[in-house]
């Protein structure tokens, strides 16, 4: 399919460009959530999987602020900004958790320190001191000194399944190009937007 019919095809082209030109982590994206009170919240995460059927996946702690917000209100918006290219990609859609098998496969691919860190961090909750975190890391490193480090039950992937994907390209005089793909049954409709 051409990139006029398939936003995933356009995303792959743009992501390849970003990999070639961004100095660091082109897979970094902002994820915006809102809890039951409707108040927005936003932070950066790393895209770890993407594609039709896959949507856009990141991994985190389900008990973190974003985790509890997504459990209460499973919708999110994602934003990539590739400054070196003058491009942004905006994505919106419902959110679900990846399968246990997919989460295990990704968790097992991470380095040992990150797997221990996932156990040691009560992400987004108050931390008494840096020393308390270091003690927790040491305790879990001792507990899982040999063999596989299991995946914590509260650590998994969230999948944003896009209903809308907008590609924004900087142009002179603020006459930027905006291409908005909207999910339409099994396909997508494309419209241009004023900048």
Return the residue of 50, 66, 87, 115 that touches ligand FMN, per CB under 6 A: 66
Does 64 bind ligand FMN (CB under 6 A)? Our answer is yes
In this complex, which beta carbon is closest to ligand FMN, that of residue 43 or of residue 143?
43
CA–CA dist 144, 158 (Å, integer): 26
Locate the DSSP E strands across 83-124: 87-97
Binding mask 36-55 for ligand FMN (x = CB under 6 A): -----x-xxxx---------
Task: Give the chain's length.
Answer: 195
Least Å distance between CB 40 and ligand FMN?
Answer: 11
Binding mask 123-152 for ligand FMN (x = CB under 6 A): xx----------------------------
Active-site hit among 143, 159, 171, 174? 174
Q: How far is the CB of 18 from ligand FMN (least distance, A)?
A: 14
Identify the H or E element spanning 139. helix 130-143
Q: Which of 1, 16, 20, 25 binds ligand FMN (CB under 6 A)?
A: 25
Within 8 A by CB and 6+ apart from 109, the residues are none
Long-range contacts of 141-150 (CB under 8 A, 24+ apart): 141/116, 144/115, 144/116, 144/119, 148/108, 149/112, 149/115, 149/116, 149/119
For the question of residue 43 being annotated catalytic, the response is no
Helix (H, G, I), strand (E, B) or coil at 166: strand
Cα(103)–Cα(158) distance, rounded to whole angstroms? Answer: 9
Query: Considering beta carbons, is residue 28 or 137 the nearer one to ligand FMN?
Result: 28
User: Per the structure block, which two tokens stand in for 25?
Assistant: 């982590």
Return the number of the residue (136 or 180) whose C-beta is nearest ligand FMN.
136
Q: Total residues at the site for ligand FMN (CB under 6 A)?
A: 15
62 binds ligand FMN (CB under 6 A): no
91 class by beta-carbon count within 10 Å (0-12 exposed, 13-18 middle, 19+ buried): buried
Instruction: Provide the binding-site residues for ligand FMN, judged by CB under 6 A.
Output: 25, 28, 41, 43-46, 58-60, 64-66, 123-124
The catalytic residues are 174
């Amino acid at each position: 399919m051409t990139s006029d019919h398939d936003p995933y095809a356009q995303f792959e082209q743009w992501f390849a460009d970003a990999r070639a030109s961004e100095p660091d982590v082109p897979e970094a994206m902002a994820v915006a959530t809102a809890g039951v009170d409707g108040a927005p919240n936003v932070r950066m995460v790393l895209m770890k999987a993407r594609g039709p059927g896959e949507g856009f996946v990141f991994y985190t702690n389900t008990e973190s602020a974003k985790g509890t917000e997504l459990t209460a209100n499973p919708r999110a918006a994602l934003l990539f900004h590739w400054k070196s290219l003058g491009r942004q990609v905006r994505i919106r859609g419902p959110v679900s958790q990846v399968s246990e098998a997919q989460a295990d496969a990704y968790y097992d691919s991470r380095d040992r320190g990150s797997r221990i860190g996932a156990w040691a961090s009560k992400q987004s909750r108050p931390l008494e001191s840096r020393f308390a975190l270091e003690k927790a890391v040491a305790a879990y490193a001792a507990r899982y000194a040999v063999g596989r480090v299991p995946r914590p039950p509260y650590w998994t992937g969230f999948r944003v399944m896009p209903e809308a994907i907008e590609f924004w390209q900087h142009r002179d005089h603020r006459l930027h190009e905006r291409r908005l793909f909207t999910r339409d049954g099994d396909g997508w409709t494309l419209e241009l937007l004023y900048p």
